[in-house]
Structure 1
Amino acid sequence: MSTTHRDSSETRPLLQQDDVTSYHSVPGSGDSTPQEPPPPLNRVSGTDLAWVLAGLWSAVFLGALDGTIVATLLSPIGSYFNESNRASYIGTSYLLSVCCFTPLYGRLADILGRKGAMLLALSLFGVGTFLCGLAPSMDALIVARAVAGMGGGGVMTVSSVAVTDLIPLRQRGLYQGMTNILFGLGAGLGGPIGGWLNDNFGWRSAFLFQMPILVFSFALVIAKVSIKLPDEVESQSLQHKLRRIDFFGSLTLVGTVGCLLLGFSLKSTEELSWGHPIIWGLFTASAVWGALFVAVETYWAPYPVMPMRLIKQRTPLAVSLSCFFGSVAAFSTLYNVPLYFSAVRLNSSTDAGLHLLPHSVAISTGSVFAGWVMRRTGKLYNLTLITAIMTIVAATMIIFWTDSTSTFHLWFDIVPQGFGMASVITTTLIAMIASVAKEDMAVATGITYLFRTTGQVLGVSLSGALLQAVLTRKLRERITGPGALEMIEKIRHSTSIIAELSPDLRQAAVSSYADALRIVFICQAAANFLCFVCCLPIQENPLPGTHEEQEAQYRQRKYTIDSRTASES
């Protein structure tokens, strides 16, 4: 298939507001006959929609709940197996698995159907979580978390694709905002629930506790999710559908992303040097797998898991990069702002965590606000740029935190970051969906989540590596003499001892953390700026307000693409 080039006409509406009839003609002929579009495939009643959303969103809620539950359990699990030094791999294995398998579900949603792909994701997530509750060793637990990640990567992607099938684009952002509220609620409840279950029933109960919610979601997906695909897909045999799976492309993509993220994660968690054979070996392997992946997707795969023609298009590329840089900044902020209050302000862990509360509220508010604006105006471009600028302003204010910064700023400055990024994540997802043909919608959604999750992992690991590098250098400058190296190592690995140090050592530790975190905050601002720059090329496509308009727009876009392809061939 030749690459589809998109000219400036794409900034104009492809479908006028009163154009419910689309015109089709055979390319190259003079015939042009009006043809009424068929009724929408997936119109559902309000009651059925509520049940479908309950099934999909309960899975999203569970995925968020699981993430913070596990984060709370790392210490007791490490102590139980007497392997606290390896506890971080429980989280790393899950995140790596999520990043590797997230984009695969876009294509699987087209091959297996929305219900089949969602049931596969829930099955893998459920099996992995159940095995975590029974794990006899740390190694078994790490493997079980990787299995859970294979499914967790699909829950958000497939649920997003399914909602897009059911909701017109103009209203889609509002539903995405509600999804994000549920995600935030799950993430907020996970910590307290995980701690309570661990204290009263042991850490295994925190995994087994999730099974009833999983069964509820699984049952509703089976009973209520019956989203129809086009007839040419529905009529294919299972054998033919399986032949459409891009096994080699999936393998090379997993190798590319897995080796890259594992290299950065080991650099951060194991404190290996950049020149260590394991680190540069993983990066080299990632580059080789990446070259193979591009070759396979470009020249060989008939149904590529990540079509290169999409990545080469203006809006999908801009959306992917903006999601990546935005996620890097967002998750670096999420992890390093509490560290500032613990290591520099010497607040308790509870107080440090509370400073993220306004940020959490802003995330929910920003996402719903973006959805409301898109529903009311049918536009997203200016909203995207304005809210991206808000994240730059927030990151810049955080850079200038000092001992004399007022309490108001310490609580408020992070709010525009959460509000702006939640809005950008919502608008860019809608921009991606609105820019591609209907048959590419599921794959494009998977690509968006791939760049987003990869940015999240790199935001944490890269900021951690940068922080430790600068912190070590500053501590060595300020702490010298007998026993200095041992003291430096203690300060690097535990912020809780800083308050107990002598005044001179305490000042050295606080100043070193402040200097290191300022460098990290500057990099966060740079990442937010790159996110803004990447948002500039995004095109303003119309957002249909009804199912009929949306179906007509899809048909018009398909006809336009087919006509261009025929004229270029």
Structure 2
Amino acid sequence: MPTSRSVSIVSETTSLLEDAPPSYRSTDDVDATFPESEVDVNPQPLNKFSRQDTYWILAGLWSAVLLGAFDGTVVATLLTPIGSEFNASNQSSYIGTSYLLSVCCFTPLYGRLADILGRKGAMLLALTLFGTGTMLCGLAPSMSFLIFSRAVAGMGGGGVMTVSSITVSDFIPLQQRGLYQGMANILFGLGAGFGGPLGGWVNDTFGWRTAFFMQAPVLAFSFVLVVTKVNIKLPLEIQNQTLADKLQRVDFLGSTTLVAAVGLLLFGISLKTTEEMPWSHPLIYSLLGSSIIFACGFVYVEKNCAPYPVMPLHLMTQRTPLAVSISNLLTSMTAFSMLYNIPLYFSAVRLQSAAKAGLHLLPHSVAISIGSVFAGWIMRRTGKLYTLTLVSSALTIFASVMVCFWRDSTSTFHLWIDLVPQGFGMASFITSTLIAMIAGVYREDMAVATGITYLFRTTGQVLGVSLSGAILQAVLLRRLRLRINGPDADQIIYAIRHTTEIIPNLDPLTRKAAVDSYADALRVVFICQVAVNVCGLLACLPIQESPLPACPPGQRRNQHDSEN
């Protein structure tokens, strides 16, 4: 029997509320004394698999992750040909918006569904919805039907990343999860990096519908492996529940108010951007006001009504989960703003083709893969993540600052390399903060906490695209009106704002006015990205350092003593 020497345990789950109810706090939340024999300093996962089964499980999960990333960039490449075929180019932006809105609204539900349906059931549901929506896109007879189909695909796309991350966390020790998350992000980066060029080639060769149908084999591969290999055991208290008891765990009212609050907010911002409505328009402020009302209703329901809340508020009163959520929101805003606006810079300011503009994102995609693996390796080697998180956030600031200084005289080297710190830092950041979130909550809250992380991340993605688009269009319109005059000025300005393809064909003076106006507008967007990235760095400062549980016991105690 081990001796009962006393050790002091402190974890990342320290609550911001000093008098938080005991049921909301872990025994790790306070300086408590326990016999060493009773302290699990090296907790083991509930599920264990052979190496071969582990490879098959990861192949099934990660092939879906790769496909989700591939699908996103493929669709972005296909917006112009799709809009042209349906003669509805003015609605093509809704294809991306409907998907992202759906992802954002349904992502938090999968954290709870993974506990109710099991990891296999939740993943199969996500794959079914994503696959159904994708195939319907290929069969779409109209733009409206295509937009609806992308929304259906988003209902599943929001679950693919979330459930795969939750599932990996069930059988991989915590200190190694960063490395595995990094490997998953390699596939994500590869899918995102090759989706655009391959989608363009498929469109030119076979037509845009083929780009949706060609995803079917990978979907089938992932589906079969999940059915046959993903046999994750849940805790006994969940396994022994009846279906009725499990359904009672679904927070229907909370989910409804959350979806309404997020959806109305993002729909209002999207309408402001795509339809060029003023903020004072009755529809815009009605949507935003309704969003605030539903958000207040959501907080009330989660606090007073829901026995199993979809977003447990006690998590959001803890220091590390709150910091992770806010920092992920802010950094995701700048990451997606960068991804959408950098190609626009090369097509509108440098007057390059869409294919060449997209190629400038390839170094960024490679950096995503390297950054993820690097973060996982560092956390596995050191057992720490705080310094890594701060350095990763600082790299995104550095990249945003470099992009702000792009001018006509900027060398080609900088145009290719300046985005690398953004991709490397962002990939490392989301990997380390996800591990921080998992390490900072109870095991029973892990699935929901992972869903919350992805909720804030996807909300940031949509906000980044929508708000940067609103800023871009506002500045661009003002600059164009200052530089272009004459009887046809309004028509020319309208055409320049809605397609960059006409810019090279304009007369020299008008072409220069258009290029300079786009350069000015994008520079304002890039400066805003710097400001948001700085806020993201400040938001992650409260994340608490704690040795990861897989550290040897002696190392854990020594690290704790040195920090205190």
TM-score, length of structure 1 as denominator length: 0.89
What residue in structure 1 maps to residue 496 of structure 2?
491
Question: Residues 276 and 170 (structure 1 numbering): CA distance in 2 closer, same or farther, change over 3 Å?
Answer: same
What residue in structure 1 maps to residue 463 of structure 2?
458
What residue in structure 2 maps to residue 227 of structure 1?
232
Moved over 6 A (4+): 3-9, 11-16, 35-39
CA distance in 2, matches of 1:453, 1:102: 8
Deviation at 1:384, TM superposition (A): 0.7
The answer to whether the Cα contact below 8 Å between 2:202 and 2:208 also exists between their aligned partners in 1 is yes
What residue in structure 2 maps to residue 441 of structure 1?
446
Counterpart pick for 2:294 among 289, 301, 305: 289
Counterpart pick for 1:509 among 511, 514, 526: 514
What residue in structure 1 maps to residue 208 of structure 2?
203
Equivalent residues in 2 for 1:257-296, closer than 5 Å? 257-296=262-301
CA distance in 1, matches of 2:502, 2:130: 38
What residue in structure 1 maps to residue 159 of structure 2?
154
CA distance in 1, matches of 2:43, 2:100: 42
- Alignment: residue pair count: 536
Matched, 1:68 2:87: no
CA distance in 2, matches of 1:36, 1:510: 60
What residue in structure 1 maps to residue 60 of structure 2?
55
**3-state SS of 2:444 partner:** helix
What residue in structure 1 maps to residue 190 of structure 2?
185
The answer to whether the Cα contact below 8 Å between 2:42 and 2:549 also exists between their aligned partners in 1 is no
Aligned partner of 1:177: which letter? G
Aligned partner of 1:2: which letter? P
The answer to whether the Cα contact below 8 Å between 1:11 and 1:540 also exists between their aligned partners in 2 is no
CA distance in 1, matches of 2:196, 2:501: 20
Deviation at 1:352, TM superposition (A): 2.0
User: Per-residue CA shift, 1:419-470, capped at 9, x if unaligned?
Assistant: 1111111100000000001000000000000000110111111101101101
Question: Residues 400 and 6 (structure 1 numbering): CA distance in 2 closer, same or farther, change over 3 Å?
Answer: farther
Counterpart pick for 2:38 among 22, 29, 36: 22
Question: Residues 44 and 86 (structure 1 numbering): CA distance in 2 closer, same or farther, change over 3 Å?
Answer: same
CA distance in 1, matches of 2:399, 2:46: 44
CA distance in 2, matches of 1:38, 1:353: 45
Counterpart pick for 2:217 among 196, 212, 216: 212
Deviation at 1:5, TM superposition (A): 7.7
CA distance in 1, matches of 2:280, 2:189: 39
The answer to whether the Cα contact below 8 Å between 2:41 and 2:549 also exists between their aligned partners in 1 is no
Deviation at 1:211, TM superposition (A): 1.9
What residue in structure 2 maps to residue 559 of structure 1?
none
CA distance in 2, matches of 1:13, 1:420: 37
Matched, 1:430 2:435: yes
Matched, 1:311 2:330: no
Aligned partner of 1:335: which letter? Y
Question: Residues 483 and 137 (structure 1 numbering): CA distance in 2 closer, same or farther, change over 3 Å?
Answer: closer
Deviation at 1:104, TM superposition (A): 0.5
Deviation at 1:87, TM superposition (A): 2.1
User: Per-residue CA shift, 1:62-117, capped at 9, x if unaligned?
Assistant: 11122122222223322333323222222211111100000100011111111111
Deviates more, 1:497-506 or 1:290-299: 497-506
Matched, 1:140 2:156: no
What residue in structure 1 maps to residue 3 of structure 2?
none
CA distance in 2, matches of 1:498, 1:274: 29
The answer to whether the Cα contact below 8 Å between 1:392 and 1:529 also exists between their aligned partners in 2 is yes
Counterpart pick for 1:522 among 519, 522, 527: 527
Structure 2: stretches of 5+ with no match in the other structure: 1-19, 558-564
Counterpart pick for 1:412 among 414, 417, 420: 417
Structure 1: stretches of 5+ with no match in the other structure: 24-34, 554-569
Matched, 1:378 2:394: no
TM-score, length of structure 2 as denominator length: 0.90
Aligned partner of 1:111: which letter? I
Aligned partner of 1:123: which letter? T
Deviation at 1:280, TM superposition (A): 1.0
Question: Residues 138 and 406 (structure 1 numbering): CA distance in 2 closer, same or farther, change over 3 Å?
Answer: closer
Deviation at 1:3, TM superposition (A): 7.2
Q: Identity over aligned residues, as a percent?
A: 67
Question: Residues 294 and 36 (structure 1 numbering): CA distance in 2 closer, same or farther, change over 3 Å?
Answer: closer
Matched, 1:81 2:97: no
Deviation at 1:198, TM superposition (A): 3.3
The answer to whether the Cα contact below 8 Å between 1:315 and 1:432 also exists between their aligned partners in 2 is yes
What residue in structure 1 maps to residue 169 of structure 2?
164
What residue in structure 2 maps to residue 94 of structure 1?
99
Matched, 1:532 2:551: no
CA-atom RMSD in angstroms: 2.6
Question: Residues 15 and 54 (structure 1 numbering): CA distance in 2 closer, same or farther, change over 3 Å?
Answer: farther
CA distance in 2, matches of 1:403, 1:498: 17
**3-state SS of 1:275 partner:** coil
Matched, 1:542 2:547: yes
Counterpart pick for 2:479 among 474, 480, 493: 474
Aligned partner of 1:299: which letter? N
The answer to whether the Cα contact below 8 Å between 1:256 and 1:290 also exists between their aligned partners in 2 is yes
Deviates more, 1:234-243 or 1:477-486: 477-486
Question: Residues 340 and 41 (structure 1 numbering): CA distance in 2 closer, same or farther, change over 3 Å?
Answer: same
User: Per-residue CA shift, 1:112-149, capped at 9, x if unaligned?
Assistant: 11111111111111222222222332222222211111
What residue in structure 1 maps to residue 407 of structure 2?
402
